[in-house]
């Protein structure tokens, strides 16, 4: 079972291909510091890809709000939501 993770959105990237978009996530490490990793949005459907991309873009535009996300076994983003505190 996948675990929800928390990160900030540092950058977003998309092409004209409706199934290709990426998000640069910035996570705090337990020992201090930060890890930045590009994650592709799972290309299951164009609507699903654009929905996750819109959430990521919104978080990035709003000064890198925290988001929660899930990854599939290939390390691709499968779900994302704004982190509400």
What global pTM score does this model have?
0.87
Mean pLDDT of the chain: 89
* pLDDT for position 25: 95
**Residue 58 backbone phi and psi in degrees, to 5:** -60, -45
* pLDDT for position 84: 63
* pLDDT for position 29: 85
- Tokens for 2, please give them: 């996948």
* pLDDT for position 62: 85
- Tokens for 84, please give them: 């509400």
75 vs 59: CA distance, rounded Å: 20
Per-residue model confidence as pLDDT tens digits over 35-73: 999 999 999 999 999 999 999 999 998 876 789 999 999
Provide the 10 A C-beta neighbour count for residue 37. 12
């Amino acid at each position: 079972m996948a675990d929800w993770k928390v990160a900030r959105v540092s950058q977003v990237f998309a092409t004209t291909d409706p199934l290709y978009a990426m998000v640069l996530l910035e996570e705090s490490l337990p020992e201090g510091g930060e890890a930045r990793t590009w994650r592709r949005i799972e290309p299951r459907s164009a609507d699903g890809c654009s929905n996750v991309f819109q959430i990521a873009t919104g978080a990035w535009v709003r000064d890198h709000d925290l988001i929660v996300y899930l990854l599939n076994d290939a390390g691709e983003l499968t779900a994302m939501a704004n982190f509400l505190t």
